[in-house]
Chains A and B, each alone.
Chain A
Amino acid sequence: MAGLARHSIIVPVVAFSLVLATSRLAAGQDFADGLAAYDAGDYASSLAVWLPLAEAGNSEAQLAVAGLYLSGLGVARRPEEAARWYGHAAAAGDPVAQLNLGDLYARGVGVPADPIRAYLWFSLAAEQGRAWAARRCDEISRRLTPRQLAAARALIARHQPRE
């Protein structure tokens, strides 16, 4: 009976310790670990480090994961997944994610081609001082009809960066 009671305490304690150890292991991996793996050409390891960070809302990791999905390094190439991760970081206000998402919309890669949304994201990145995005914004604006341009500007006016 005493043995049973002891087991009923030990099992949850061991389980809790395992959970704690696992979460510490994951938490111990930071963005730079993934970058070191990426630099070494070990893309699968960099994805393993960056993906949990991206899922936890780290914009930098979301950007990096998007890059891996777009290039097909360390994971099967999935441009739509790249667009999804760029979308998370872009909505949070990351200018590099915004200009890359704009580029995907402009080219119709991973998302349906949409010059209005391309203009929106290029424009938001340009507002943060990105010259490349500003140039792309100008190019796109020359191809938009007045109605499309008005729609794009309305989207920009409504856009609120996500916390």
Chain B
Amino acid sequence: MRSRRTRLLSTSVIPFVVFMGVAVGGMDATGPLAGSPVYAACNPCAVANPCSPCAAANPCNPCAVANPCSPCAASNPCNPCAAGGGGASLACAVPRLQAAARCNPCAVTKSCSPCNPCAAANPCNPCAAANPCNPCGAANPCNPCAAANPCNPCAAAACNPCSPCGAAGAIELTDAEATEVYDCLLKEMQAAYAKSDNEVALGYTAWRRFSKRAYPSATHGNRHVQNYANEAAKSYGAYEEAGPMPDGAKLAKDSFSVMADGSVSVGPLFIMEKMPADWNPDSGDWRYTMIMPDGSVFGATKGKGAAKVEFCVGCHIAVASETDSLMLVPGEYRVK
């Protein structure tokens, strides 16, 4: 026969107690879904939440703005702080992902979820003092906050596939979703790029588009992109058979990011312009320009801020040396 105290500490009671504490503590949360009991309960920032990663005294505070490992990063698919999205676009979103985000793994009501880090009964609970993997234990060699830990999942190295800090993986959209989001965002994208006063940014959407829909591009930060080419670059549509582009060929790739919570945000506009022969052999005579959504023009090959687009040159030459530095639209998304 178990004692009353043992029963109180049992796994069936603790989650309820934690839930109530967190829910009450989360009541002062603000934001569009602050009134939602699910989001309030999930709020790891709730004052009453004993596991609050926001606790000032917590040396591993993942919510610190300067922390590159912050799980509050909107691009982090595990973002426990996402309480209703908040991407740049207020008009466009992916409803399917928004619905999925409501299944927040921190929902204490889902105490049976093995992924729930807030459930007291969860053996993986990172807040459990006795948990050998407790990431908050300063002396814990597995402490993900330990700077010297080579397995540190917070290591900024983007190549670490397990790194929660690495670039978020591509989020797959269906054809219909990709088309709907792109059509919805197009005006926002045009308005954003127009701030640059760049000639290509002002007119690229009048060019021919060579992608059937926006598709995820691993070489462009897993953003969804579309490919446009001007009249001089019409041979781009021959893809592998296109051969070197002529002087005057211009290509533009607009982009948007999709967050795990379904929100979307305008990304940069990537431009390649073919210049006269021997203009700059190091870049294959291509001038690369990157235009940010705020209208900043980040570098142009051989122009102001050229160093800032060096990584574009290096990447295109490395990945597409056989195709005049052109990264081609993946087969399934090509316009024939």
Size of chain B's interface in residues, with CB distance under 8 A? 48
User: Which of B12-20, B63-71, B117-125, B278-286 interfaces with chain A?
Assistant: B63-71
Do residues B73 and A132 form an inter-chain contact, with CB atoms below 8 A? no
> Does B88 reach chain A (CB closer than 8 Å)?
yes
Q: Are B74 and A41 in contact, with the CB atoms below 8 A?
A: no
Q: A41 contacts which of B88, B221, B292, B310 (Cβ < 8 Å)?
A: B221
> A42 and B166 in contact (CB under 8 A), knowing A48-B68, A74-B75?
yes
A96 touches B294 (CB 8 A): yes
Contact with B257, one of A45, A63, A64, A73 (Cβ below 8 angstroms): A73
Q: Are A31 and B308 in contact, CB atoms less than 8 angstroms apart?
A: yes
- Please give the distance in Å from B335's CB to the nearest CB on chain A: 25
Are A73 and B265 closer than 8 Å at their CB atoms? Answer: yes
How many residues from A make CB contacts under 8 Å with B? Answer: 37
Which of chain A's residues have a CB closer than 8 A to the CB of B311? 32, 35-36, 39
Q: Nearest CB to that of A32 among chain B residues?
A: B308
Picked from B194, B197, B263, B296, the residue with its CB within 8 Å of the CB of A72 is B263
- Which of A43, A47, A48, A67 interacts with B294 by CB under 8 Å? A67
Is B239 part of the contact surface with A, judged by Cβ < 8 Å? no
Q: Which of B51-105 contact A (CB under 8 A)?
A: 65-70, 72-76, 81, 85-88
Interface residue from A43, A66, A76 paired with B86 (Cβ < 8 Å): A76
Q: Mark A59-80, 1 if CB is under 8 A from B, else 0.
A: 0100110110011111111000
Asked if residues A130 and B197 are in contact (CB atoms below 8 Å), the reply is: yes
Query: Are A45 and B65 in contact (CB-based, < 8 A)?
Result: no
Question: When each residue 123-143 of chain A gets 1 if its CB lies under 8 Å from chain B and 0 otherwise, what string results?
Answer: 000000011100000000000
Give complex CA distance A70, B70 in Å. Answer: 17
Report A-chain residues with C-beta under 8 Å of the C-beta of B295: 96, 99-100, 132
Q: Chain A residues with Cβ under 8 A from B265's Cβ?
A: 71-73
Q: Is A40 positioned at the interface, with any CB of B under 8 Å from its CB?
A: yes
Task: Give the distance in Å from the alpha carbon of A21 to the alpha carbon of B57 in the complex.
Answer: 25
Cβ B158 vs Cβ A37 within 8 A: yes
Cβ of B195 to closest chain A Cβ, rounded Å: 5
Does B75 lie within 8 Å of A41, measured CB to CB? yes
User: Does the CB pair A51–B65 fall under 8 Å?
Assistant: yes
B86 and A77 within 8 A (CB) = yes
For chain B residues 17-40, which have a beta carbon within 8 Å of chain A? none
Q: Is the CB of B293 within 8 A of A71?
A: yes
Nearest A residue to B67, CB-CB: A48
The answer on a CB contact under 8 Å between B167 and A42 is yes
The answer to whether B165 and A40 have CB atoms under 8 Å apart is no
Instruction: Offer 18 A-B interface pairs, CB within 8 angstroms, sorted by A.
Output: A32-B307, A35-B308, A42-B75, A43-B75, A48-B67, A60-B296, A63-B296, A67-B296, A70-B294, A71-B87, A71-B257, A71-B293, A72-B85, A72-B88, A76-B72, A99-B295, A132-B196, A132-B295
Which residues in A have some Cβ–Cβ distance to B below 8 Å?
Answer: 31-32, 35-45, 47-48, 51-52, 60, 63-64, 66-67, 70-77, 96, 99-100, 103, 130-132
Instruction: Spell out B's residues near A (CB within 8 Å).
Output: 65-70, 72-76, 81, 85-88, 156, 158, 165-168, 194-197, 220-223, 257, 259, 263, 265-266, 268, 290, 292-296, 298, 307-308, 310-312
Q: Kindly list the 4 A-B residue pairs having the minimum CB-CB distance in the complex, ordered from nearest.
A: A41-B221, A77-B86, A48-B68, A71-B88
Q: A31-B308, A41-B168, A42-B158 are in contact. List 4 more A-B contacts (CB 8 A).
A: A35-B298, A39-B311, A73-B75, A96-B195
